[in-house]
Homo-oligomer: A and B are copies of this chain.
Amino acid sequence: MPFRFRPVDTTFYDLFAQLANHLVGGAELLAEMLSNGGDREGVAQRMRDAEHHADETTHEIVRRVNSTFVTPFDREDIYALASGLDDVMDHMEEAVDLVLLYGVHELPSELAHQVEVLQRAAELTAEAMPRLETMKNLDEYWIEINRLENSGDKSYRRILAKLFSGQYEALEVLKLKDVVDSLEAAIDAFETVANTVEQISVKES
């Protein structure tokens, strides 16, 4: 028996899928907060829970990387992917949190497009994670994320132009800009995740 088969720990894929699914939930909560009749306190509480679950999954991945001899791809890429997904959640949670903390009365309707981008990016990411096992059909995922990020960027700039157009008071601009920046950071973090997946895919192919 010259070759001993060493099984890779497939549950890494499950954990990444699980982490991405927390992001799907988080993006839905953002959409709920935007519908102005929503119960903001309730949304914020469920967002904190989602963020907590994402943290636990991230720690589970890190623990497993450190205790597993054979990993499905480079350790540093597993770290990068896990912490990238966790960053998305942190920015989404921050956005909800700031709305409550600052006592923002009315969110400009333009934010809806940013949140749609986040919902779509979360779904695409959750669908892509299981495909890490075969490394097949991942290019359509990262191409679409890049397209979404571009679209989100255009929204972001339109919102900034509106905020600084003179129709908002300086203090309100300050508040809204922090919220909008958090959403934009969440979208950018999805792109970072997609870049990491591309990097992994190029290495492994």
Residues in A lying within 8 Å of B, measured CB to CB: 66, 97, 101-103, 157, 160-161, 164-166, 169-171, 173-175, 177, 202-203
Contacts and interface: CB of A to CB of B under 8 A. Distances in A.
A117 B185 CA distance: 27
A175 B164 contact: yes
A66 to B, nearest CB: 5
Contact of A169 (B102, B165, B170, B203): B170
Contacts of A177: 174
A163 B97 CA distance: 15
B66 A164 contact: no
Give the number of times this chain occurs in the complex, counting copies: 3
Contacts of A170: 169-171, 174
Contacts of A66: 202-203
A103 B164 contact: yes
Contact of A173 (B97, B166, B174, B202): B174
A34 to B, nearest CB: 20
A203 B63 CA distance: 11
Contacts of A157: 97, 101
A160 B203 contact: no
A168 B174 CA distance: 13
Contacts of A101: 157, 160-161, 164
A156 to B, nearest CB: 10
